[in-house]
Chain A
Amino acid sequence: MGENLFSKVWQMHEVQKLPSGESQLFIGLHLIHEVTSPQAFQMLREENLKVAFPERTIATVDHIVPTDSQERPFLDPLAEAMMKELEKNAKEFGVAFYNPASGKQGIVHIIGPELGLTQPGMTIACGDSHTSTHGAFGAVAFGIGTTQVRDVLASQCLAMMKPKVRKLDVSGKLGKGVYAKDVILKIIRQLGVKGGLGYAYEYAGETFENFSMEERMSVCNMSIEGGARAGYVNPDKTTFDYIRGREFAPKGAAFEKAVKWWKSIASDSNAKYDDVFKMNVSSLAPVVTWGINPGQSVSVDENIPDPKEMPESERQSAEQALQHMSLNPGTPIEGTKINVAFIGSCTNSRISDLREAAKIAGGGKVAVGVKALVVPGSQKVKAQAEKEGLDKIFTKAGFEWRSAGCSLCLGMNTDRLKGNEICASSSNRNFIGRQGSPQGRTLLMSPAMVAAAALNGKVVDVRGVM
């Protein structure tokens, strides 16, 4: 019996077994941002400790950064204070900080891959649950808390138990207007938001093999929404082609050596898994959430489900969801009116996402009364989009064109829903209050579906407007 990638990489990074039975796991790449790191640096100061491997930690600013005017000082004094703290910590502890002046700033899970920092076979940690994104490269990547950020800074290691591994074997080619986002929303609907507890997900099969790196990232990104702390795709030619030539990628002969090693850490064809789940996505339709967790979704051509017809274990949560969302069971999700449209977040703010959304937005006009914004994931994505003229397509259609950051995904900067506004969003979480207003409502969908909703002022099937 062969081994899967997760087990191989875990074993290679296990420094020792701790008395508790946990692994002491070496972390190859540590990414930090302004929200979950300041307390960790303070803990180091209190313990009189240094950063053990400063060259293996990279900082950027994404959560609180304004995406309209980034002039310093930021208008929000709390955001300015957090920015200053990160600047101070990076300098004092000798950590590289990609701030807006560097031209490399962006959402931490966008910049890692685009700079070539994220590579197959690495262990990657960050104080952010969407660190699972980096698994798209065949890395073992997961989110951690701030006390663990402290541990990684001080020792470059974590104390952890190895999770089980479930292979998600997905076949079928996606129809027009159906995207990676729809695949992961469908997986979460099928397996549930707690279905992945205790597991890392290996996304395998022809669907993922045929996906681009950006599509793989969108899927791995939302592993955590299905309860799996990590998710990964085995590295292949698509992976290597993406990495080649990027700033921190190995060059020349070193790259060839790297490819050989990267191939060696992929799951063996006869690898063992703790569980296998199969799915076919040939007939998958665009997916839209109707509830308050990412598992509460339907196809755009389906009706909102009736809690009365659900298993008892899901009923209470569904009733609460419909009450919060002010949606009626048994009615179509299509046609639901929206107030705000958001294209962005670490799930869907890469260049391919913006291209797909621009195809829909091009020539149209954002519906009267709808506020629509496009927030590129990084400064590099923004520059590339502007080179392609996508910014003009969006602004001409009435979308706001912003700078890089997390923005309306979690409402920590000035971009927030107001009152009970309802937002068509390409982000990853529809939790109560997630987008900055306690009564705010979120409908998760693909960026193309968001663009279509923006133009129509309501949820529409993007397949009908392509």
Chain B
Amino acid sequence: MKMKSEMPQIAGKAVPVRGDDIDTDRIIPARFMKTVTFEGLGKYAFYDARFDEMGRAKKHPFNDPKHKGAVFLIVNRNFGSGSSREHAPQALKRFGIKAIIGESFAEIFSGNCQLLGMPCVTAGAEDIRILQDFAEKEDPEAILNLNLADKKLNYNDTSIAVEIPEERRKTLVEGSWNTLGLLVSALDKTRKKVAELPYIKNFK
């Protein structure tokens, strides 16, 4: 079982998607989840905001050639609210996103991202606004650098502090964010714990 794969420093271009409370239905509409795999979901990221009923491209940062190849998604407050669908982070990841920087994140969403090794880090509202303007207007080609070891995002001679819960930062830096091996290896402990719970044997 593959348990560890080091998280390198993440570097690349950024794409801003502005707005609070962007829910996972907007990140990927439910009609694209009628599938038994996550493959190919990248093309459905923000689908209804990007394409009209006829499938024609609308104005959206994900359609803008200047953001082609971006690895950082810059968002505002409560990003990823609503449905627990992992299809949302899977679609973003398969589109090419490697990390999300925002004011705040919904919990199930950021937890799902974490398990894919895609960090969700937060920064202050003003830092985010400046960063979104920078990526959109000033220099869309600029390379940003996210360093989880010192919790800094560096770009264009600027360095901003980012936050991420310590347990997440640690496992990302160590490359141990995939919890499967750890949990499975404790099956004996789990069985012992379970024996203490009266409902397991239906209180008999």
Contacts and interface: CB of A to CB of B under 8 A. Distances in A.
B107 A197 contact: yes
Interface stretch (B5-13, B139-147, B151-159, B192-200): B192-200
Given A16-B186, A150-B180, A438-B29, A81 B36 contact: yes
A75 interface: no
A250 interface: yes
Contacts of B53: 438
B83 A12 contact: no
B37 A38 contact: yes
A129 B179 contact: no
Nearest to A41: B36
A127 interface: yes
Interface stretch (A140-148, A364-372, A458-466): A140-148
Given A15-B190, A157-B186, A159-B182, A194 B115 contact: no
A412 B190 contact: no
Tell me which of A20, A224, A412 has the highest count of chain B C-beta atoms within 10 A of its own C-beta: A20
B96 interface: no
Interface string A373-405: 000000000000000000000000000000000
Nearest to B178: A147
Contacts of A12: 196-197
A431 B165 CA distance: 28
Given A147-B86, A411-B30, A26 B23 contact: no
Contacts, number: 207
A193 interface: yes
A254 B202 contact: yes
A257 B107 CA distance: 36
Contacts of B197: 12-13, 26, 28
Given A197-B78, A261-B203, A24 B183 contact: yes
Interface string A128-156: 11000000000000111111101100111
Nearest to A116: B202
Contact of A193 (B21, B166, B170): B21
Given A79-B34, A82-B34, A434-B25, A194 B77 contact: yes
A46 to B, nearest CB: 10
Interface residues of B, number: 61
B35 A78 contact: yes
A317 B20 contact: yes
B79 to A, nearest CB: 10
Query: Interface extent on A, as a size class?
Result: 35 or more
B106 interface: yes
B132 interface: no
A82 B108 contact: no
Contacts of A255: 203
A306 interface: no
Contacts of B202: 248, 250, 254
A24 B84 contact: no
A258 B82 contact: no
Given A47-B1, A293-B23, A24 B186 contact: yes
B193 A15 contact: yes
A254 B190 contact: no
A154 B180 contact: yes
B17 interface: no
Given A155-B187, A194-B77, A227-B81, A261 B198 contact: yes
A161 to B, nearest CB: 6
A15 B166 contact: no
A38 B36 contact: yes
A313 B186 CA distance: 46
Nearest to B198: A261
Contacts of A122: 199
Contact of A197 (B1, B106, B199): B106
Contacts of A20: 167-168, 170-171, 176
A95 to B, nearest CB: 16
Interface of A: 12-16, 18-22, 24, 26, 28, 35-36, 38-39, 42, 47, 49, 52-53, 63-64, 76, 78-79, 81-82, 85, 119, 121-122, 127-129, 142-148, 150-151, 154-161, 163, 193-194, 197-198, 224-225, 227, 229, 248, 250, 254-255, 257-258, 261, 293, 313, 316-317, 320, 410-412, 429, 431-434, 436, 438
17 contacts: A21-B167, A24-B182, A24-B186, A28-B197, A35-B85, A39-B37, A78-B35, A145-B112, A148-B115, A160-B111, A261-B203, A320-B19, A412-B31, A429-B83, A432-B48, A436-B30, A438-B29
Given A19-B176, A317-B19, A431-B25, 9 more contacts: A38-B37, A127-B86, A151-B180, A158-B179, A197-B104, A225-B82, A316-B20, A431-B82, A432-B48
Interface of B: 1, 19-21, 23, 25-26, 29-31, 33-38, 48, 53, 77-78, 81-86, 89, 104, 106-108, 111-112, 115-116, 165-168, 170-171, 176, 179-180, 182-184, 186-187, 189-190, 193-194, 196-200, 202-204
